[in-house]
Structure 1
Amino acid sequence: MNKTKLLVVVIGLFFSINLDAQNDFKIGINVGLNYPDIRGNEFAKFNNFKVGYLFGVSLDYYLKENLSIKANVNFETKIREFELTFFDNQAQEIGTQNYNEVFEYINIPILLKYEFGNSKFFVNGGPFLNYLLSNKIDEDYPNDDSRLVTQQKKIDFGLSAGIGTNLSLNEKNDLVIELRNDLGIIDTGGVPNQVNGTIKTNAIKLMLGWNLGI
């Protein structure tokens, strides 16, 4: 099953939930931007990441009036930019070229969310799971350095925390603005063989959601 079919199936499962208790549920869609980073070894700070994007669906299940469990299923990209320097046969530098490596994930956080009374502000936190669908380097990249790094792992796991606000459009529909941080706590691989340490992820996200009022 390819990544598009997988995302469609997951979204379909969200919208097939029995909504007999619809007052306890809010279903929504969301889009956003992410800025990733890594840590865990002495060379991690030299990586250059760019802003990526995400989109997906959300589900809030209310335990109490101001307390809910919030889950997302997102398709998410993370982009790493790196530079190669080229030399001629006399070892003289002749130029540089930038390349992008794009990581595509399914991102699933399950968070406990607390809303502060009638203020419309909230905080949430809990675990997240990322599943790596693919990582690709620009087609014109001239070197295959896959043997120079440890195997890239499919699973990334960590803790997520966010703050945000709900903006009511009408009785049923809300806009949700949230700033979230995903902090990975396991080694995801891809460490250069000559470097000791691990690679653990981090991503700051700015998200805009729409609770659909169904």
Structure 2
Amino acid sequence: MKKTILSLALLVGTAAVANAQSTRFGVKAGVNYTTFSGDNVDNAKYKFGAVGGLAANFGFSESLSLQTELLYSQKGTEIKGSDYNFKLNYIELPIMFRYTLGDGNGPFLQAGPQIGYLAKAKLSDGNGKNIDLDNDAYQNIALGYVAAIGYQLPAGLSIEGRFNGDINSVGKDGDANDQQRNRVFSLQLGYMFGGK
């Protein structure tokens, strides 16, 4: 099932890029506000993390485009009543269709699928001491979705609020966190080179 979803997303993305009329590249940076959702998450609370990377926008018209990004994203959660801090760092590839309400600038909406690769998983206590985790207990691949609303300035600068969630669990079946999924709110700044 995961391979089918990934294959469809890549096929749609490849076909869309082939039909693009204009292409712009840029950079992204921002902050994540992240926790776990799912079963047995009563003690999970939100924590902050960083997100940043590269972006490419393939325009089909003044209003419609495909935005792909390659991001390094810090996720995880803190545990209420303790100082334990789950740190899950991902390399992510969102593929989003973007609709701009103006002529390529102004307010925009975007949404699409996302695939992530777990680069590092660790747990720290209140003293900042790292606790060894069995990384084999965590899913290497995270499949999810992204939705965002933002504003694009003619000079290339943009700001957006974004939500992304995973459809598969953080942990493997029968292992730690096998019923929890990442849930992330982000505030991101971007700059696309070649602004009007």
Q: Could you tell me the TM-score, scaled by structure 2's length?
A: 0.76
Which residue does the alignment assign to 1:87? none
Which residue does the alignment assign to 2:183? 202
Q: Distance in 1 between matches of 2:152 and 2:87?
A: 32
Match of residue 54, structure 1, among 28, 51, 61: 51
Per-residue deviation, residues 21-56 of structure 1 (Å, max 9, x unmatched): x97011000101111122221x21311231100110
Which residue does the alignment assign to 1:75? 72
Amino acid corresponding to residue 159 of structure 1 in structure 2: Y
Which residue does the alignment assign to 2:143? 157
Per-residue deviation, residues 67-111 of structure 1 (Å, max 9, x unmatched): 000001001112433378xxxxxxxxxxxx624332111011000
Q: Distance in 2 between matches of 1:160 and 1:208?
A: 16
- Give the unaligned 5+ runs of structure 1: 1-21, 85-96
Superposed, 1:12-161 pairs within 5 Å as 24-41=22-39, 43-82=40-79, 98-118=83-103, 120-138=106-124, 140-141=129-130, 146=134, 151-161=137-147
Secondary structure in structure 1 of the residue aligned to 2:42: helix
Q: Distance in 1 between matches of 2:98 and 2:65?
A: 5
**Are 1:66 and 1:114, in contact at CA under 8 Å, matched by a contact in 2?**
yes
Which residue does the alignment assign to 1:92? none
After TM superposition, what 4+ stretches of structure 1 lie above 3 angstroms from structure 2? 143-146, 190-195
Structure 1 residues 137, 145: CA separation in 2 closer, same or farther (over 3 Å shift)?
A: closer
1:144 Cα deviation after fit: 5.5
Q: Could you tell me the TM-score, scaled by structure 1's length?
A: 0.71
Amino acid corresponding to residue 29 of structure 1 in structure 2: V
**Are 1:150 and 1:193, in contact at CA under 8 Å, matched by a contact in 2?**
no
Which residue does the alignment assign to 1:94? none
Structure 1 residues 69, 180: CA separation in 2 closer, same or farther (over 3 Å shift)?
A: same
Which residue does the alignment assign to 1:17? none
- Give the unaligned 5+ runs of structure 2: 1-19
Which residue does the alignment assign to 2:6? none
**Are 1:150 and 1:191, in contact at CA under 8 Å, matched by a contact in 2?**
no
Greater Rg by CA: 1
**Are 1:74 and 1:106, in contact at CA under 8 Å, matched by a contact in 2?**
yes
Q: Distance in 1 between matches of 2:77 and 2:83?
A: 10
Q: Distance in 1 between matches of 2:49 and 2:173?
A: 22
Q: Distance in 1 between matches of 2:100 and 2:76?
A: 33
Structure 1 residues 33, 194: CA separation in 2 closer, same or farther (over 3 Å shift)?
A: closer
